[in-house]
């Protein structure tokens, strides 16, 4: 574990560590100036050209922050914890979709499978026959 820590503290990763510390301090400043109800829903991104970028999880939180953005700017600028004075807050909504669970594939009984194959053999060319053909393609 020690060699990894030494590598991360080295010169090549110092820029990344500085950016991470800056990001962490922005997050702490933001959360200290917001209500507790926003704790897991707000993420401070960065400050670029006196614009504080904030990412939120849904539009309801975004609208509440937008309404209180003027007072939030004053609170953050009054803390003197950051060198740059913020003039504007930009709020991005980043909706996180839960992973779609895979559907459980049910095994088709052999008799139903054979009936579908027989039906496919008797049918003339049609969209339904194309679908049946795609069902019975050999697996690679």
Residue-wise pLDDT tens digits, 107-121 = 778 888 888 888 888
Tell me the mean pLDDT in the region 46-71. 90
SS3 125: coil
Given a cut of 70, is residue 4 above it in pLDDT?
A: yes
The answer to whether 82 and 94 are in contact (CB under 8 A) is no
What is residue 62's predicted lDDT score, i.e. its pLDDT? Answer: 92
Q: Which H, E and C letters describe 39-101, residue by residue?
A: CCCEEEEEEECCEEEEEECCHHHHHHHHHCHHHHHHHHHHHCCCCCCCCEEEEEECCCCCCCC
59/102: higher pLDDT: 59
- How many C-beta atoms surround the C-beta of residue 123 within 10 A? 13
Q: Which residues lie below 8 Å from residue 26, measured CB to CB, with a gap of 6+?
A: 44, 46, 47, 52, 82
Residue-wise pLDDT tens digits, 68-97 = 889 888 888 888 777 788 899 999 998 776
- For domain 2-93, give its CATH number from 3.30.300.180, 3.40.190.100, 2.130.10.10, 3.40.50.300: 3.30.300.180
Given a cut of 80, is residue 28 above it in pLDDT?
A: yes
Calpha distance 39→22 (Å, rounded): 19
Instruction: Look up residue 138 and give its two tokens.
Output: 């050999």
Delimit the CATH 3.30.300.180 region(s) of the chain. Answer: 2-93
Lowest mean pLDDT among 22-26, 62-66, 91-95, 133-137: 133-137
């Amino acid at each position: 574990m020690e060699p990894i820590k030494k590598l991360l503290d080295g010169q090549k990763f110092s820029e990344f560590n500085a950016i991470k510390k800056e990001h962490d301090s922005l997050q702490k400043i933001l959360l200290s100036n917001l209500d507790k109800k926003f704790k897991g829903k707000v993420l401070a991104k960065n400050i670029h050209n006196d614009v504080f970028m904030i990412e939120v999880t849904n539009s309801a939180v975004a609208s509440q922050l937008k309404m209180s953005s003027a007072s939030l700017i004053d609170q953050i600028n009054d803390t003197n914890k950051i060198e740059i004075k913020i003039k504007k807050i930009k709020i991005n909504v980043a909706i996180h979709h839960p992973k779609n669970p895979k559907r459980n594939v049910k095994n088709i009984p052999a008799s139903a499978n054979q009936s579908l194959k027989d039906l496919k053999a008797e049918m003339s060319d049609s969209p339904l026959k194309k679908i049946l053909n795609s069902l019975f393609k050999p697996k690679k």
